[in-house]
Amino acid sequence: MKQIINLEAIAKFHASRKSKILAIPCQNLLAGSSDGGEDILEKVGEPPSGLRTLWKCPVDISKEEQVSKANRAEAAKGRFYAAKSFAIASLSLIFCSQAFALPSNPHVMQGTLMVENVDAKTCVFTVGDETFLHCDDFSIAEDDLVEFRQPSSKSIVVVEVVTDRQSELLGILKSNGGVFIVNPQGIVIGENGSIDSFGFFASTLPACACPLIDGDMDVFVQGSSIAPITNKGRIKAWENDVYLIGYKIENRGVVDASEGTVSFAAGQDLVLNPSNGHKIGAFPSPIKYTNEETGIDNSGMIIAARTELKADGNAYATAILHSGFIDIIGKDERKGEVYLEADKGDVIISGAIAVENSDRTGGNIQIVGEYLFLFENSNIDASGDSQGGNVCIGTEGTQLAFIDEDASIIVDALEEGNAGNVVIRSEGTTCFYGAVSACGGDRSGNGGTVNIFGKTHLDFQGKVDHLAPHGKEGVLLLNEF
């Protein structure tokens, strides 16, 4: 790695931990790593059509020398809960036996509930619109199925665990509406676990269902829980959004909201539906981290029309670590966009991000933090057949932007139209050793603008291609922000 350890700006901040930062490997899902790569591809099967960009990206993301993180916590074995068949109206208390995997002692706080034990492995809950349940436990054993039947896809059911039991979703949870699970003790979706619903919301912090009911209001979420949300299986929202909200978010499986937004938020002071038009936001803690934790760790796969990963930059040694795949295809009403943001924090990328829109244009990617690293095998692709998208790395608060020699950024117009633009900036040091391609279309269109800026120091040793075979060549700007 090129002379980064000799730069005064980097050495000053990272003297105590630079060896740890620079040694973080790429999580190699395609190589079948011990960290779950083979399992993820088995869940997905053949590459979906939306993943075509990732499978043909120019960066070699299957190097055998990559190693997975060690000492991952294994998912606990699921609990079994059961109940006799009965129906209740609102404000009723249910007591369960131990033959089936279903909520333990759910109390209807609002709405209605009817329970049907179909067989030893299947339990169906028929609920009224906007039903709220308090439960002693909400877990699903492996191979078991719990289904919430709701009046319509716009309905929701909220399940809040009020004891000290972690939710272990090792089987199947499905619903024709939205499902909210709130558990301050933590939520785990096991390797064989599956969520299949109209929309899905999981939180370890006190949360309100309002954001998915009324999309025009700010909802502030605060709490003291440090329990994680871990997905090792598959979460599918077939027409709406997926929210994972908590102190620590780990995705090692597949999160699929191809018609909506996937939002991960890590911290203890968060906001849902902020007025800036985003789905989530994270406020930085007043005190810098004193641990070696990671806020959001995505080594799995995200498929969506839009994605937001946001973390409290002060709370963790690494606010966001992305080593998996993010594949975005925007829709008419939801443009393809990716936001990885950690104000005052470190964002480390060694995976792939591909963004395009249904109209064949490239999408937009924004990566924000105080210290930004794109290590080897990072592939940031906002290209489009008819027009390139835009990539912005760094803001006024960024002190270091480091782009490794094996990292690539692509905003090409592949067939026709103009290329997109790339901005890489920091108020401190920018080290650019990678490659940017901002080329016009093969049949028509101009090249794009690439602006690389380091206010205190710029070390530019990379490659930039902004040619246009049938148009005007693009522009490379160095320290001309």
Indicate the burial class of 55 (C-beta count within 10 angstroms; 0-12, 13-18, 19 or more): middle
Residue 31 has a pLDDT of: 32
> Is the separation of the CB atoms in 378 and 405 below 8 Å?
no
Beta strands (DSSP E) in 280-418 are 280-282, 294-298, 301-311, 318-322, 325-330, 337-349, 352-357, 364-374, 379-381, 390-393, 400-403, 408-410
Query: With bands split at pLDDT 50, 70 and 90, how would you rate the model's confidence at 209?
Result: low
333 compared with 372, residue with greater pLDDT: 372
The first and second tokens of residue 73, run together, are 């916590």
Range with top average pLDDT, 28-42, 198-212, 284-298, 326-340: 326-340
Confidence label for 365 from pLDDT (cuts 50, 70 and 90)? very high
Going by their DSSP bridges, the two strands 113-119 and 86-88 should be labelled as: antiparallel
Strand partners, 311: 266
Give the up-direction half-sphere exposure of residue 402: CA atoms within 13 A in the CB hemisphere: 24
Question: For 307-362, what is each residue's pLDDT tens digit?
Answer: 999 999 999 999 999 999 999 999 877 789 999 999 999 999 999 999 999 999 99
AA letter at 88: I
pLDDT of residue 1: 35
What is the pTM for the complete model shown?
Answer: 0.79
What was the pLDDT predicted at 210? 54
Residue 149 has pLDDT above 90, yes or no: yes
What per-residue confidence (pLDDT) applies to 173? 97
User: What is the pLDDT averaged over residues 386-399?
Assistant: 96
pLDDT top residue among 413 and 119: 413
Q: Of the candidates 368, 358, 388, 404, which has an alpha carbon nearest to the alpha carbon of residue 450?
A: 388
**Of the candidate ranges 38-52, 392-406, 462-476, the one whose mean pLDDT is the lowest:** 38-52
The pLDDT assigned to 216 comes to: 55
Which of 76-80, 223-227, 344-348 is most confident? 344-348
pLDDT single digits (tens) 111-132: 999 988 888 889 999 999 999 9
Mean pLDDT of 63-89: 32
Would you give the distance in Å from CA 99 to the centre of its chain?
36
